[in-house]
C-alpha cells in the first residue's frame, strides 16, 4: 500500500520502532553515511511518519519494503560519490593548470628588486614521489599540499601587491579540491582492506610539513613583505608543478 506521495512506502505503527532499530544497524555498518540527511529525504521521512498513523498491512512485509527503499536511496548516493571520485582526476588536471595561471596573473612578473630574497626551501620531491602501485599515497600527498598552500595564502597579505580576486579564486579552488580528496580517500579506506601504505608515508609527510614550516618561518622573518610574498608565489608555482606530476600517478 502506498502513501499519498508517489514512490513512498508505509509501514504499520507496530513496526515503526522495529524498523528504526534496523535502520540504526544499517547506518552503523555504513560508517560516515549521513543518517540525518537520509531521514530528512521526503520519501523516507514520509515512510517513517506514516508508520505512526497507518495500519492494516503486514508488519514484516512493510518494514522490508521501507528498508529496501532506503537501501536503494543509499546505494544511489554511493554510486554518485564513486562517480565524482572517478572524474576527480580529470578535474584536478584542469584546476591545477588554472591555479598555475592564477599564480602568474595575480602578481605578474617577478620584481627585479626581490631577486636577492630568492631562497631554496627544499621541497622533498624524491621522498614524496610514490611508486606506481601507491596511487592512494599520491592522493594523500596532493591533499596535504593543497591544504598547506591554502593555509599559506590565508596569512597576512597586506603588503602583497596582488589582485585580490585572483587570490580568492585560487583559495576557493584549493579548498574545493582538498574537500573532494578528503571525501574520496575516506570512501576508499572504508571500502577496502586495511591500508598499510600510511605508515610508509609518515616520514615523507613529516618532511613535507617541515618544508611548509620553513616557508612560514621565512614570511615571519621578512615580516610578510612584498618581496617575501613574491618569493613564496614563485615557490608555490614550483610546488604546483610537482603536484601536476603527482596527479598523473593518483
**Band (21; pLDDT cuts 50, 70, 90):** low
Q: What is the DSSP letter of 192?
A: S
Q: What is the pLDDT of residues 185-241, one digit of tens each?
A: 888 776 655 554 566 788 899 999 999 999 999 999 999 999 999 999 999 999 999
Q: pLDDT digit string (tens) for 100-128?
A: 999 988 888 889 999 888 889 999 998 88
Other beta carbons within 10 angstroms of residue 198's beta carbon come to 13
* pLDDT of 243 above 90: yes
Instruction: Output the pLDDT for position 122.
Output: 93
- Structure confidence at residue 135 as a pLDDT band (50, 70, 90): confident
| Local structure of 113: helix, strand or coil | helix
Q: 245 versus 48: which is more confidently predicted?
A: 245
Residue 143: partners with Cβ closer than 8 Å, 6 or more residues away: 177, 178, 181, 182, 185
What per-residue confidence (pLDDT) applies to 85?
77
Render pLDDT for 148-196 as a digit per residue (tens, 0 to 9): 999 999 999 999 989 889 999 999 999 999 999 988 888 877 665 555 4
**Long-range Cβ contacts of 19-28 (<8 Å, 24+ apart):** 19/48, 19/51, 19/63, 19/66, 19/67, 20/48, 22/63, 22/67, 23/67, 23/70, 26/67, 26/70, 26/71, 26/74
- Considering the entire predicted model, what is its pTM? 0.65
9 forms bridges with which residues in the sheet?
2
Burial class of residue 243 (count of CB atoms within 10 Å of its CB; 0-12, 13-18, 19+): buried
Q: What is the pLDDT of residue 62?
A: 64
Our CA angle for 202, 207, 209, nearest 5°, is 95
Residue among 55, 77, 57 at smallest CA distance from 65: 57
d(CA 159, CA 225): 6
Amino acid at each position: 500500500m502506498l502513501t499519498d506521495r508517489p514512490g513512498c512506502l508505509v509501514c504499520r505503527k507496530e513496526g515503526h520502532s522495529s524498523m528504526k532499530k534496523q535502520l540504526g544497524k544499517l547506518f552503523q555498518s555504513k560508517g560516515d553515511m549521513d543518517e540525518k540527511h537520509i531521514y530528512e529525504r521526503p520519501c523516507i521521512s514520509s515512510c517513517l511518519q506514516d508508520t505512526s498513523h497507518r495500519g492494516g498491512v503486514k508488519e514484516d512485509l512493510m518494514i522490508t519494503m521501507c528498508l529496501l527503499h532506503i537501501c536503494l536511496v543509499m546505494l544511489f548516493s554511493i554510486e554518485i560519490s564513486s562517480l565524482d571520485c572517478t572524474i576527480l582526476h580529470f578535474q584536478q588536471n584542469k584546476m591545477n593548470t588554472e591555479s598555475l595561471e592564477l599564480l602568474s596573473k595575480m602578481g605578474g612578473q617577478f620584481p627585479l628588486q626581490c631577486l636577492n630574497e630568492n631562497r631554496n626551501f627544499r621541497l622533498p620531491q624524491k621522498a614524496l614521489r610514490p611508486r606506481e602501485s601507491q596511487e592512494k599515497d599520491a592522493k594523500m600527498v596532493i591533499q596535504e599540499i593543497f591544504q598547506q598552500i591554502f593555509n599559506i595564502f590565508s596569512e597576512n597579505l597586506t603588503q602583497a601587491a596582488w589582485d585580490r580576486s585572483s587570490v580568492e579564486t585560487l583559495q576557493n579552488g584549493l579548498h574545493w579540491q582538498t574537500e573532494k580528496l578528503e571525501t574520496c580517500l575516506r570512501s576508499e579506506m572504508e571500502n577496502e582492506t586495511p591500508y598499510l601504505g600510511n605508515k610508509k608515508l609518515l616520514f615523507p609527510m613529516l618532511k613535507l610539513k617541515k618544508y611548509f614550516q620553513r616557508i612560514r618561518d621565512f614570511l615571519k622573518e621578512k615580516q610578510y613583505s612584498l618581496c617575501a610574498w613574491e618569493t613564496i608565489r614563485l615557490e608555490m608555482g614550483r610546488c604546483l608543478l610537482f603536484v601536476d606530476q603527482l596527479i598523473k600517478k593518483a
